[in-house]
Amino acid sequence: MKITFLGTTCTQPTPSRNHSGILIEIDGDAILLDCGEGIQRQLRVAKKRITKIKHICVSHWHGDHCLGLPGLLSSMASDQISHKVQIYGPEKSKLFLSHMLQGFYSHGVCEHDCSEHEQGTLFKSRMYSVSAHKLVHSVPSIGFKITVYKQRKIIKDLLESKRVPTTLWGKLQQGETVKFDGKMYRPEQYTVQDDPLILCYIADTIMGDHLYTFCEDADIIISESTFLHEHVEKAKEVYHMTSQQAAMVAHHVNAKRLILTHPSLRYKNTKRLLEEAQVIFPNTMFAEDFTEVNIE
Ligand SMILES: [Zn+2]
């Protein structure tokens, strides 16, 4: 899995930070988490093909997370994308998207579907699944969890002792039940599978117990980190997080890695935000635009 940060700012873009967008490349698929203004250009700078994007997950309909959609969907149409793009977001997503797409003369946007979610699985493949989790922000907001399944390992001795032909092992490894000599062989009995890798994206939200529940099994957490803790009251007032709070979540759920993003424009740089988090959770980094993280 490869994570590419395309935009990492808060309310307004800066010379070095674009509005929000994270590209996840996994199992041959490309998934976009949020689509702030300018994301299609960021994709081109990062040399990512926009026609590869199948799923767009919009955390909420504040402009810094969604205003890139009309342009991206228009460019996908002119690049003759061959599949339907699936767009997922919280309540009112269909309404907001339709308003956005009616705001200008257009040669058309690519074929797409938009669905609204608060909780639960959005889509899955053989290798991964993506689910939505309710956050608490000033407007309806959802976070996204990506679960990456590890490949099953064959219990060779057991299959050999049952004389199951090796030609059937591949199916068991892919999680399928096979039939041999009148008997059913289930993957749970003849393969072992390690725990999946879990990535949680905490988009705009206020701190709260909902984050411990959302991230309880997370290995990697990407979190908004708008404020320093000295501005915790301001953070509460505008339904955002401090970097210390993001680190507390990562520490509490025993995550392996924390990646911060979305700093307030009031800070000249992210040094103190990062330091504050690292005191609580040392394996923290602050994402810049075009930061790439490869996960084995
Ligand atoms: Zn935001």
Q: How far is the CA of 256 from the centre of ligand 1 (A)?
A: 25
Residue span of the structural domain in which 186 resides: 153-190
Please indicate, yes or no, whether residues 11 and 132 belong to a single structural domain of this protein: yes
- Does the annotation count 64 as an active-site position? yes
**Structure tokens, 282:** 């040392």
∠ CA(74), CA(80), CA(83), 5° rounding?
95
pLDDT score recorded for residue 107: 84
Please indicate, yes or no, whether residues 238 and 111 belong to a single structural domain of this protein: yes
Please indicate, yes or no, whether residues 66 and 135 belong to a single structural domain of this protein: yes
Q: How far is the CA of 181 from the centre of ligand 1 (A)?
A: 58
Tell which of 190, 216, 239 closes a domain.
190
Q: How far is the CA of 219 from the centre of ligand 1 (A)?
A: 23
- Could you tell me the CATH number of the domain that includes residue 243? 3.60.15.10
pLDDT by residue for the chain (296 residues), tens digit each? 999 999 999 999 999 999 999 999 999 999 999 999 999 999 999 999 999 999 999 999 999 999 999 999 999 999 999 999 999 999 999 999 999 999 988 888 999 999 999 999 999 998 999 999 999 999 999 999 999 999 899 999 999 999 999 999 999 998 899 999 999 999 999 999 999 999 999 999 999 999 999 999 999 999 999 999 999 999 999 999 999 999 999 999 999 999 999 999 999 999 999 999 999 999 999 999 999 999 98
Q: How far is the CA of 125 from the centre of ligand 1 (A)?
A: 29
Contact 132, 93 (CB under 8 A): no
Please indicate, yes or no, whether residues 251 and 120 belong to a single structural domain of this protein: yes
Please indicate, yes or no, whether residues 65 and 92 belong to a single structural domain of this protein: yes
Please indicate, yes or no, whether residues 203 and 83 belong to a single structural domain of this protein: yes
Return the C-alpha torsion angle 87, 141, 3, 98, nearest 10: 30
* C-alpha of 272 from chain center: 25
pLDDT score recorded for residue 105: 87
**Structure tokens, 247:** 């680190």
Q: How far is the CA of 83 from the centre of ligand 1 (A)?
A: 29
Please indicate, yes or no, whether residues 263 and 277 belong to a single structural domain of this protein: yes
Outline where the chain has alpha helix (H). Answer: 39-45, 63-66, 69-78, 93-101, 156-161, 169-173, 187-190, 209-214, 232-237, 243-252, 271-280
Three-state secondary structure of 66-115: HCCHHHHHHHHHHCCCCCCEEEEECCCHHHHHHHHHCCCCCCCCCCEEEE
Tell which of 170, 190, 210 closes a domain.
190
Please indicate, yes or no, whether residues 75 and 222 belong to a single structural domain of this protein: yes
Tell which of 172, 190, 208 closes a domain.
190
Please indicate, yes or no, whether residues 106 and 245 belong to a single structural domain of this protein: yes
Angle of helix 243-252 relative to helix 271-280, nearest 10 degrees? 30
Please indicate, yes or no, whether residues 176 and 207 belong to a single structural domain of this protein: no
Please indicate, yes or no, whether residues 28 and 128 belong to a single structural domain of this protein: yes
Please indicate, yes or no, whether residues 215 and 231 belong to a single structural domain of this protein: yes
pLDDT score recorded for residue 7: 98
**Whole-structure pTM value:** 0.92
State how many domains the chain has: 2
Q: Give the single-character DSSP code of 262.
A: -
Q: How many alpha carbons fall within 13 Å on the CB side of residue 223?
A: 36
List 258's β-bridge partners, or say none.
Answer: 221, 284
Question: Which residue in the block uniquely carries the two structure tokens 């679960």?
Answer: 147
**Structure tokens, 260:** 């911060």
Q: Which of 34, 64, 204, 219 is catalytic?
A: 64
Contact 59, 135 (CB under 8 A): yes
**Structure tokens, 148:** 């990456």
